[in-house]
């Protein structure tokens, strides 16, 4: 009980430390670019989840310039998401893809500095799966949720309704985003450790420098 209390009490501080550390990652423009790529790729995966075959056809078979094909598959669906989907679905896709991009960059930062150790794989992977499942227009029967759930719920004699599917998709979208936020939180804590270690190392070095300069002059004398 005490442990839980302690954990809860430290949560605001840890959260602040984690997200400040995660934000510091984006001082490097390379990570901003990587996040941007993550946003576009994850949004495309969710938006095209029902038409992957068609996306492949557009990219590899349609007789159009490559720029137009890439724009059609990767760019336009994202920038038109609010006119293509209803506002709740569109907001879910934008939020998820934004968080996915951030998560990707912070993962890369932690991987680069610390390796695979302690990477929160479950929340990142779970978030992506949830978001893809929630993609498409579930209320209209064009989701990959419907064929997955129909036989499963049929075992228990439960019939699927469009309202249920729409609500489920919305919840899955939120769950996906919450999982990704949790993943960023965990990664942020790792990033904070990395950054403070680096700060300490730099501090040692800057303290050592005058010493070594003194040593050098002493040797010369």
Taking the complex as a whole, how short is the minimal distance between the CB of residue 93 and another protein, in angstroms? 12
Among 117, 119, 109, 104, which residue's Cα sits nearest to residue 198?
109
* 158 binds another protein, rule: CB under 8 A: no
Q: Which of 84, 114, 193, 195 binds another protein (CB under 8 A)?
A: 84
Of 23, 52, 129, 200, the one binding another protein by CB under 8 A: 52
Site string for another protein, 129-148 (x = CB under 8 A): -------xx-xxxxxx-xx-
6-45: contacts with another protein (CB under 8 A): 28, 30-31, 33-34, 37-38, 41, 44-45
What character string, x for contact with another protein (CB under 8 A) and - otherwise, covers 181-220? ----------------------------------------
Q: How far is the CB of 182 from another protein (least distance, A)?
A: 21
Q: What residue spans of 26-86 are helical by DSSP H? A: 29-47, 52-60, 66-70, 76-79, 81-84
Residues in contact with 88: Cβ distance below 8 Å, sequence separation at least 6, in sequence order: 170
Is 130:176 a contact under the CB 8 Å cutoff?
Answer: yes
Q: Which stretch binds another protein (CB under 8 A): 54-62, 168-176, 177-185, 201-209?
A: 54-62
Nearer to another protein, 11 or 152 (CB): 152
For 196-215, the DSSP string reads HHHHHHHHHHHHHHHHHHHH
Residues contacting another protein: total by CB under 8 A? 58
Select from 59, 175, 178, 194 the one that contacts another protein (CB under 8 A): 59
115: left (phi over 0), alpha (psi -120 to 50) or beta: left
Helix axes 121-134, 145-155, angle to 10 degrees: 100
Given the structure tokens 């990767």, which residue do they identify?
74
Place of tokens 């056809």: 57
Residue-wise DSSP of 112-139: HHH-STT--HHHHHHHHHHHHHH-S-GG
* Binding residue for another protein, selected from 80, 118, 202, 215, defined by CB under 8 A: 80
Q: Which residues bind another protein (CB under 8 A)?
A: 28, 30-31, 33-34, 37-38, 41, 44-45, 48, 50-59, 62-64, 68-69, 71-72, 76-77, 80, 83-88, 104, 108, 111-112, 136-137, 139-144, 146-147, 150, 159-163, 166
């Amino acid at each position: 009980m005490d442990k839980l209390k302690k954990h809860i009490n430290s949560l605001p501080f840890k959260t602040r430390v984690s997200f400040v550390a995660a934000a510091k990652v984006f001082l490097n423009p390379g990570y901003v670019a990587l996040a941007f790529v993550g946003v576009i790729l994850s949004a495309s995966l969710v938006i095209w989840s029902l038409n992957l075959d068609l996306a492949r056809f557009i990219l590899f078979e349609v007789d159009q310039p490559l720029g137009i094909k890439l724009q059609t598959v990767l760019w336009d669906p994202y920038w038109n998401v609010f006119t293509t989907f209803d506002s709740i679905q569109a907001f879910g896709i934008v939020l998820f893809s934004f968080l996915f991009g951030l998560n990707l960059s912070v993962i890369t930062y932690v991987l680069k500095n610390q390796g695979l150790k302690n990477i929160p794989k479950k929340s990142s992977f779970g978030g992506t799966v949830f978001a893809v499942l929630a993609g498409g227009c579930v209320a209209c029967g064009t989701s990959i949720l419907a064929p997955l759930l129909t036989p499963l719920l049929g075992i228990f004699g439960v019939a699927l309704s469009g309202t249920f599917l729409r609500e489920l998709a919305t919840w899955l979208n939120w769950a996906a985003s919450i999982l990704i936020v949790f993943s960023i939180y965990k990664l942020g804590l790792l990033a904070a450790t990395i950054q403070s270690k680096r700060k300490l190392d730099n501090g040692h070095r800057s303290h050592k420098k005058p010493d070594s300069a003194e040593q050098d002059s002493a040797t010369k004398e």
